[in-house]
Structure 1
Amino acid sequence: MTAQSQLRQIHPLSWTIIVGTIFGRMATSMSIPFLSIYLIGKLGATASEAGIVVAASSLIGVFASFYGGYISDLIGRKKVLFISIFGWVFVFVGFALANQIWMFFVINALNGLCRSMFEPTSRALLADITPQESKLLVFNLRYAAINLGVVAGPLLGLYMGASESGSAFYIPALVYFCYGGVLVLQFLIHKDIGGVNRQQSDRLTLKRAFQVTGRDRTFMYVLIGMIFCVMGYGYFDSTLPQYLELGSKFANGATLFGYMISLNAVVVLAVQYPLVRFASRFSPVAPLIAGNICVSASMFVFGASSHIWMLMLGVVLFTVGEVLMFTMTDMLVDRIAKPELRGSYFGMFGFNNLGNVLAPLLGGFLLDGLGVHRALIIFAIMALITAFGLPFLLLGKRHLPAEEIAKEG
């Protein structure tokens, strides 16, 4: 089947989620990536305090993601999407109005709650309404949409002074309000989608959903390995901007980090298609292994960088690893998941956000404890911890063929 015919098969609701993702991520990346810089520069937070606030979102996501995916299996995708998207409206208004560090902690925790409900539910909905032969295309369009939004978002955030003012948070609030309104109209048109299978919901319990996913060895190996992968990804969003802001090696840390985020998104858009096309020839776990190696290596580059061009080289290496790690995960989870528990599997996979919880905490403590001048040691430690995911990913790769054969039988 040609790409053109696959595009014609994409459901209008899928297009709504993909396009909404562009604008949602654009608006979010105007503000959230600069949160730790804003807390340090304007509220006088330490690196550890900023790390704790940033980690709050992922901390809630770790514990709520499985329930978010499960509840979408139980009460329907539509209701969960509405709750999370319109909840985000209030969250970003709260960010704009907050003026104490504890307020940012609470609000960012609510931000994580909304994300832990929206992410597994939206991915499960895409899997529900997309033909098997078009799923890789749809999942990669969604990933491209994320990065397309992130290309412009940080630059707009810099222009609006997101690292110095909370007013930039009003924009994502407005964007998510509009996004939610469009989804309401779409579900009114497609009333047969996003509801609940009553026969399925009557026999689906939280205990059963947790037991089935928890006993899936292939899934659990991949999940544990991805926790370490996500830690490497989390250092880029949390520890690296703190290092650039607190250190004296590079001037205008906030501006430099904004350019690095945009370069990250541009490189994703440039390499995603050829990389995914090449990686699709192998086991879906193999790109995760290669991606982990690239992200770990990029940490060494960041720590050793003494010139801006070295930082940018590190961003390119990091981005290649990011693409390899994250573009195939949705397809992998969809392949492993039992159809009646698809939301629960995507929700359980949200436990990889434990890496996003640990990354800013560990990074903040390393910066405070060792000092920002010991960058090479700090980033080397983070690189080694990221690489701890490799043994688990190799175990997942080893068990995947047996699971695929069992499914076919």
Structure 2
Amino acid sequence: MHPLRRWWHDSAGGLPATFWYLWAGLLINRAGAFAMLFLPLYLAEARGASTALAGAVVGAYGAGGAAGVLLGGVLADRWGRRATLLAAHLATAGLMVGLAFSRQLAAIAALAALVGVVHSMPSPAFVAAIVDVVPEHRRSCAFNLQFWAFNLGMAVASLLAGLLAEASFLALFLVDAAATLTAAAVIGWKVPETLSRARSAQSPDGHRTAWTGGARRPRRPGLHTALTDRTFLVFVGLTFVLAVLTMQTSTIMPLAMRADGLGPSAYGTVVALGGTLIVLGQLFVPRLVDRHRKGVVLAASTTLLALGFGALAFAGTLPAYLAAAVVWTVGSMLAAPPNAQINADLAPPELRARYQSVFYLAFPAASFVAPALGGLSLQYLGDRHWLIVGALGLLAAGGHLLAGPPRERHVATLRQPKNPLPTPASPR
């Protein structure tokens, strides 16, 4: 096989058509999701909000996101993946139009909170649908492509947002709404409901059953199952630490660069380098990580994140920041496929979206903790803040090494038949 064809087969080949339509919907959605990136600037320049008030409104959006991931997970397991995706996208488009024409800050705050809810609802449904339709041996590739599409879309969104914001804030919201409707059209036209495939693993009455001495005892699992799954929660906790590390890029690093005398353009260069590396290199990641145990890969990736951010304690120039960005970006690239795959492995089929919603809670939580504690740490500890961040990352890397083997045993147990029937006696 030609090397290019082999690379394509390893990176993207053999995936079902439904996955590609989901991928296209995600890419369009992320490429058009730029209005909220400029919400603070819009509030300050167009609506005359103070810095504190603008921060409160953006905080309302974040709080809505935390509620949205849980709601999206529950609905995706009850309504279905396709229905949840369509409802969330259509609601987002309508709320964006409402934001475009709202003038009162109270109304804008309320709409921003609702946008936070519906913006976060699709995440569990997207991932659950991918798990539903992609065979297990190709999921690493699928999740890698999902991460790539997300970052490519965000890179496009960042570019378009700046151009539209200079022309018109009204256009910013309306084009965002139009892109969201386009994503909804792709999903509505080409993506079938995938929940039925997940339910096929259940018993005929729609619930998992346990074998208890020849009698079937129905279980009614729900969101509480994910919230009490210790193996899963350990994994979510380690993911939260990873999210806190990656959030340093958008929350604390700009302040550190400013203290070092580096302006916004320098910060933009560092961010652009990370995005470029992901867009150019992410498709090659599965070939690097698939032959290794997932816990080991996550330990290595978290170590790279720790080293990259820890190195900022000694950085004071743009080249030093760029070199550190290469290290932590490679770490985040390596983490994406195994992180998503472990999440899928730990989730029972009938609770896939609920497990995804609990997993995604780590990110809004990190978006609150990282700036709240990081700002205090940087103010009072200075460059030692980055040493603390690096030490936290190394502890999480050790946690992945310790949690990996028992988690693999737990996954193997989950894959065993749930309803073993007595083996009939052999005829004599």
TM range, smaller chain:
0.7 to 0.9
Equivalent of 1:314, from 320, 324, 328? 324
Specify whether residues 232 and 6 from structure 1 end up closer, same or farther in structure 2 by C-alpha distance, changes over 3 A only.
Answer: closer
What do residues 115-159 of structure 1 show as CA deviations (whole Å, max 9, x unaligned)? 331001011011111222322222211111112223333233333
2:262 matched residue in structure 1: 250
Q: Is residue 31 of structure 2 the alignment partner of residue 26 of structure 1?
A: yes
Mapped to 2, the partners of 1:296 and 1:102 lie a distance apart of 41
Q: CA deviation at 1:361?
A: 2.6
Q: CA deviation at 1:37?
A: 6.0
2:113 matched residue in structure 1: 109
Q: Is residue 235 of structure 2 the alignment partner of residue 227 of structure 1?
A: no
The 5-angstrom pairing of residues 23-172 of structure 1 reads: 23-28=28-33, 30-35=34-39, 45-46=50-51, 53-97=57-101, 105-161=109-165, 167-172=171-176
The 5-angstrom pairing of residues 231-310 of structure 1 reads: 231-241=244-254, 247=259, 249-251=261-263, 253=264, 255-302=265-312, 304-310=314-320
2:227 matched residue in structure 1: 214
Mapped to 2, the partners of 1:163 and 1:290 lie a distance apart of 44
Find the residue that maps to 1:140 and give its secondary structure: helix
Mapped to 1, the partners of 2:116 and 2:256 lie a distance apart of 24
Contact 2:25 2:187 in 1 (8 A): no
Specify whether residues 147 and 206 from structure 1 end up closer, same or farther in structure 2 by C-alpha distance, changes over 3 A only.
Answer: farther
Mapped to 2, the partners of 1:200 and 1:347 lie a distance apart of 26
Specify whether residues 234 and 8 from structure 1 end up closer, same or farther in structure 2 by C-alpha distance, changes over 3 A only.
Answer: closer
1:393 matched residue in structure 2: 400
Mapped to 2, the partners of 1:131 and 1:347 lie a distance apart of 22
Letter in structure 2 aligned against 1:85: H
Mapped to 2, the partners of 1:162 and 1:290 lie a distance apart of 42
Q: CA deviation at 1:63?
A: 4.0
Specify whether residues 396 and 172 from structure 1 end up closer, same or farther in structure 2 by C-alpha distance, changes over 3 A only.
Answer: farther
Contact 2:80 2:195 in 1 (8 A): yes
Mapped to 2, the partners of 1:59 and 1:366 lie a distance apart of 23
Contact 2:207 2:219 in 1 (8 A): no
Contact 1:298 1:317 in 2 (8 A): yes
Structure 2 unpaired stretches of 5+: 209-217, 417-428
Contact 1:139 1:330 in 2 (8 A): yes
Contact 1:61 1:116 in 2 (8 A): yes
Letter in structure 2 aligned against 1:356: S
Q: Which moved more, 1:118-127 or 1:211-220?
A: 211-220
Specify whether residues 222 and 58 from structure 1 end up closer, same or farther in structure 2 by C-alpha distance, changes over 3 A only.
Answer: farther
Structure number with bigger Rg: 2
Specify whether residues 8 and 322 from structure 1 end up closer, same or farther in structure 2 by C-alpha distance, changes over 3 A only.
Answer: closer
Structure 1 unpaired stretches of 5+: none
Cα RMSD after superposing both structures: 3.6
Q: Which moved more, 1:391-400 or 1:318-327?
A: 391-400
Identity of aligned residues (%): 20
Contact 2:301 2:331 in 1 (8 A): yes
Specify whether residues 357 and 106 from structure 1 end up closer, same or farther in structure 2 by C-alpha distance, changes over 3 A only.
Answer: farther
Q: Which moved more, 1:342-351 or 1:33-42?
A: 33-42
Letter in structure 1 aligned against 2:278: V
Relative contact order: is structure 1 or structure 2 higher (C-alpha 8 Å, sep ≥ 6)? 1
Find the residue that maps to 1:173 and give its secondary structure: helix
1:326 matched residue in structure 2: 336
Find the residue that maps to 1:327 and give its secondary structure: helix
Q: CA deviation at 1:220?
A: 1.4
Mapped to 2, the partners of 1:357 and 1:201 lie a distance apart of 42
Q: Is residue 413 of structure 2 the alignment partner of residue 406 of structure 1?
A: yes
Specify whether residues 7 and 249 from structure 1 end up closer, same or farther in structure 2 by C-alpha distance, changes over 3 A only.
Answer: closer
Mapped to 2, the partners of 1:238 and 1:39 lie a distance apart of 19
1:182 matched residue in structure 2: 186
Q: CA deviation at 1:209?
A: 2.1
Contact 1:151 1:261 in 2 (8 A): no
Mapped to 1, the partners of 2:60 and 2:53 lie a distance apart of 11
2:366 matched residue in structure 1: 355
Find the residue that maps to 2:294 and give its secondary structure: coil
Mapped to 1, the partners of 2:103 and 2:390 lie a distance apart of 35
Q: CA deviation at 1:375?
A: 4.8
Equivalent of 1:341, from 351, 364, 368? 351
